[in-house]
Copies of this chain bind each other. A is one copy, B any other.
Amino acid sequence: VAKVKAIISVSVDGFVAGRDISREEPLGKGGERLHDWVVVTKSWKELQGGEGGETGVDDDVSREMFEGIGAVVMGRGMFGGTWATGDEWNAWEGWWGDDPPYHMPVFVLTHHAREPLTLSDTTFTFVTDGIESAVAQAREAAAGKDVLVMGGGNTIAQATDAGLVDEFDLHLVPLLLGGGARLFDHLRHGQIELEPTRVIDSPKVTHLRYRVVK
């Protein structure tokens, strides 16, 4: 049965981005540090069309990220263009250039409607009627494969709150960031039991997998 997975890198104090997110610093102050472990891996470099990179445990975990995934859900913060309105918003094509690393349908949760955007083999569809709709559309598009909710924290929290997430992959980065965007700051329905199903530890990051107990 296809699952909805939420995958994100988070600091030990629970932040997925730093303070003062901006066009120049989409991950906020110090937020890039959260992705240090992944951007050096061989699989991540391949995903960006590059070569080289490190192999090992972190690379294995990075490589898994899109395995079995048929569609992606992300928030507008992750897609970017939050500073833009009107024509500028409609012209914003994400952070990833002409060939985004998704290669599958992506559903962007936003309050700002616009026409779908196709770049290479990735189509971004903008969903304005809420997280349930975004995940339902992603499920349909995934055609039996899993759906990946990638972030940011608010989008994952909304999906969690709505009972839509089946599994979390949290990459716990050994850092106290001290401030920024929290992963779980908007949960209205607490007391959600999880089951730890896998722990992989490496010097750079602890990979925690949880199944949501429903």
Contact = CB atoms under 8 A, between A and B. Distances in A.
A16 to B, nearest CB: 12
A144 interface: no
B178 A196 contact: no
Nearest to A168: B12
A196 B188 CA distance: 31
Interface residues of A, number: 35
B195 A206 contact: no
A179 interface: yes
A174 B203 contact: no
A188 B177 CA distance: 10
A30 interface: yes
Interface string A158-176: 0010000000101010111
B206 A199 contact: yes
B183 A13 contact: yes
B176 A160 contact: yes
A97 interface: no
A40 interface: no
Contacts of A119: none
Interface in A97-115: none
A49 interface: no
A184 interface: yes
Contacts of A174: 193-196, 210
A187 interface: yes
B203 A196 contact: yes
B187 A196 contact: no
B210 A193 contact: no
A46 interface: no
Contact of A175 (B178, B179, B183, B191): B191
A176 B190 contact: yes
A2 interface: no
